[in-house]
Each structure stands twice: as structure tokens, then as C-alpha cells.
């Protein structure tokens, strides 16, 4: 276990925001985390706790006056292998895309569409990450956690996690209560590509690949290329990926918008609801490529807010608020950040 005081968090948030934690604790096992919680109870320490992953979904507005926890649990274990499925327990501190690559290399399928999403495995179970028609909830069967108040182990089934679009119980009523230590996945030995989202099929056709010849590695590489084209590398330009969630609106709302914008992109959710890309609405409001102070909207993808260098969390927050107001004024729709403000 590593413990450091007055610790800079700049390398622990992909926006590259300068912020400091009163204390930073990195643990390598469930036992080390339980030991920390026991020591904290014995010392009657009631200062705030914040558990982070790779910091790809965080915006620090101020220094954190408390303890920041980070998992370094790195092991991958097959717990069962039966019929067409393999069941794998994955440490929360593993980089998400490393886990996707490991699964593809092992011929375990179901994660390909989630390639190159930033962050760590533990955060995937909290955020219910998603891309190209797939979500983490599609392959998560249960989640191992530690109660940060008592140190007790608790297992959550996928149903108990209450997964929905970019949502879990860990973001609402249990926010800040549990630390994810392991995530259990069910993956398939059979590759069944999902290509009906985000221009994947068009990209495959452009490469001259027939669906029946497509491999998981090829699909992963295609998705990586698409994401790199749309999203800046955080090491080059600080960002948290998609900043806003795509709103799901009543079909009547979309029909109203489509009268003025006949080519408005959308995805049918069900008979009564439609998902509209937030990035498209932001672009229609003229924000693509614009800046506000040291913060701005990425020139290639309006869903991404960026730190052009030296931006504070407040500058990015102010940009977010201004964009929200413009989108609501133009379309009558409230868009909400996917990023957590700390």
C-alpha cells in the first residue's frame, strides 16, 4: 500500500487539471484496502473519501480536502468455462483497454465495441460505459466491492447494480459508499459482431471486408481508428472523452425538431422515445471548435470539451453551463454531463 500526503492529482485526471489531495492511498489487494479502512476507523477519521479509477470521468473544481483512493488490483482469473461462455474475474485497477485486448487475444468475445474507452475496469462497472451499440452491462454478471465505512465485502449482481444508460446504483443512492475491487464478466467463445451502430458497417465495407470474414481483432482495430479520428489523446489535449450524455427524448420532441432539421441524426430507443446525439446539437449551436478562456470544444467532435492548456476546472464547468443553456434555448432539450464534478 502506498500513502502520500499533499499529492498532485494532475496525472490522475485526463483533463490534466491541477488539483491536490490531502492524502493519496493506492492499494494492491482487498486486504490492503480493508486494512486502511480499519486504521481509519480506529483513528476516528471522518474526513472525505474519494475513490477514483483512471480519472477519465472526473472534473476537479478544487483541491480535494480528504483521502483519494486508487486500486492497483491487477489480476485476471477464469472462474468458470462452460458451453459457449467463459467467466472471468478482473481486477478493478486494470486499464480498460488492456483488458479488452487481453480478451480478444484470448478469443473471448463481447468487448470489441468497447475498445479504446479510457479508464479502468472498476470504473466500467460504476459508469456502465458504452459505445457503438454495446454497454458494459451486457457482459457484467456481478461486481465485488468493499464497503468504505465498514470494510465488509459485498457482491452486487448485475440486477442489483440497476444498470441503465450511463447509470448504476453506484452513481446515485450508493455513490461514494463502495469501492469496486473486481468485476466479473461473461464472455463468449463465439464471435458475433454487432455492426449496426456508429457507421461500423460502412467502415467495414470501405475496407472491402465481408461480414462473414470479419475477425474480432479487425473490428477492434476499426473501432480504435474511428475513435482516434474523433477523439484527441488526453496526453496531447486534456479531455474526458464524451462530456455530455446523449439525451433520450419523447418521439414528439424529435418530430418537432425534425421539422426544422429534416436530416437530424437519431437512434430509435422504443416506439415512444428517440436518442439524439448531443454533439450534433452542440455543433448546431455553433460551438464546435470554439473556446471560452483556456477551455474549448474539440474541433473534430463537438461532444468533447478540451483543456487547451492551463484551464481550471471552473473554466471547463463554465463552458459546460454555457453550452447547456444554448442547447436548451435552441432545441428545448436539457443535456447533462457524463463527467463527475468534484
Residue 11, C-beta contacts closer than 8 angstroms, at least 6 positions apart: none
Given 112, 120, 135, 338, the catalytic residue:
338
Torsion angle, CA of 76/81/87/93, rounded to 10 degrees? 0
Give, in order, the Cα–Cα distances in Å from 76 to each of 79, 102, 237.
Answer: 10, 10, 32
Which one of the listed residues 154, 166, 186, 290 is annotated catalytic? 166
Please tell me which residue in 56, 71, 168, 242 is annotated as part of the active site.
242
SS3 of 163-181: the string is: CECCECHHHCCCCCCEEEE
Among 208, 214, 209, which Cα is nearest to 192's?
Answer: 214
Cβ neighbours, 10 Å, residue 305: 30
| Dihedral angle, C-alpha 242, 244, 245, 246, nearest 10 ° | -90
Examine the residue annotation and report whether 29 is marked as an active-site residue of this protein. Answer: no
* β-pairing verdict for 58-59 and 340-341: parallel
Residue with the three cell numbers 477519465? 56
Sign of CA dihedral 285, 290, 291, 295: positive
338 among known catalytic residues: yes
| Chain-centre distance for alpha carbon 143 | 16
- Any idea which residues carry the catalytic annotation? 166, 242, 338
Amino acid at each position: 500500500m502506498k500513502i502520500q500526503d499533499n499529492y498532485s492529482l494532475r496525472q490522475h485526471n485526463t483533463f490534466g487539471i491541477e488539483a491536490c489531495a490531502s492524502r493519496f492511498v493506492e492499494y494492491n489487494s482487498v486486504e490492503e484496502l480493508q486494512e486502511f479502512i480499519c486504521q481509519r476507523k480506529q483513528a476516528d477519521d471522518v474526513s472525505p473519501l474519494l475513490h477514483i479509477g483512471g480519472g477519465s470521468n472526473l472534473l476537479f473544481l478544487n483541491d480535494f480536502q480528504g483521502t483519494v483512493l486508487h486500486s492497483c488490483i491487477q489480476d485476471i482469473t477464469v472462474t468458470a468455462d462452460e458451453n459457449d461462455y467463459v467467466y472471468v474475474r478482473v481486477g478493478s485497477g486494470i486499464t480498460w483497454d488492456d483488458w479488452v485486448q487481453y480478451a480478444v487475444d484470448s478469443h473471448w468475445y463481447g468487448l470489441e465495441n468497447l475498445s479504446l474507452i479510457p479508464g479502468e475496469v472498476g470504473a466500467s462497472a460504476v459508469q456502465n460505459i458504452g459505445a457503438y451499440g454495446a454497454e458494459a452491462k451486457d457482459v457484467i454478471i456481478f461486481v465485488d466491492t468493499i464497503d468504505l465505512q465498514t470494510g465488509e465485502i459485498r457482491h452486487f449482481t448485475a440486477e442489483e447494480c440497476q444498470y441503465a444508460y450511463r447509470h448504476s446504483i453506484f452513481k446515485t443512492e450508493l455513490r461514494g459508499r463502495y469501492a469496486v475491487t473486481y468485476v466479473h464478466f461473461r464472455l463468449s467463445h463465439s464471435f458475433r459482431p454487432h455492426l449496426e451502430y456508429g457507421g461500423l458497417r460502412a467502415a467495414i465495407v470501405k475496407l472491402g471486408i465481408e461480414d462473414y470474414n470479419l475477425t474480432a481483432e479487425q473490428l477492434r482495430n476499426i473501432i480504435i481508428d474511428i475513435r482516434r479520428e474523433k477523439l484527441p489523446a488526453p496526453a496531447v489535449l486534456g479531455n474526458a472523452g464524451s462530456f455530455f450524455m446523449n439525451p433520450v427524448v419523447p418521439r414528439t420532441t424529435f418530430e418537432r425538431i425534425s421539422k426544422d432539421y429534416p436530416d437530424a441524426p437519431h437512434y430509435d430507443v422504443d416506439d415512444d422515445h428517440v436518442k439524439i446525439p448531443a454533439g450534433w446539437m452542440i455543433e448546431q449551436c455553433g460551438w464546435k471548435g470554439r473556446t471560452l478562456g483556456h477551455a474549448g470544444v474539440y474541433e473534430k467532435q463537438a461532444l468533447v470539451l478540451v483543456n487547451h492548456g492551463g484551464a481550471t476546472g471552473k473554466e471547463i464547468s463554465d463552458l459546460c453551463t454555457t453550452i447547456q443553456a444554448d442547447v436548451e434555448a435552441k432545441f428545448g432539450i436539457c443535456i447533462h454531463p457524463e463527467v463527475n464534478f468534484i
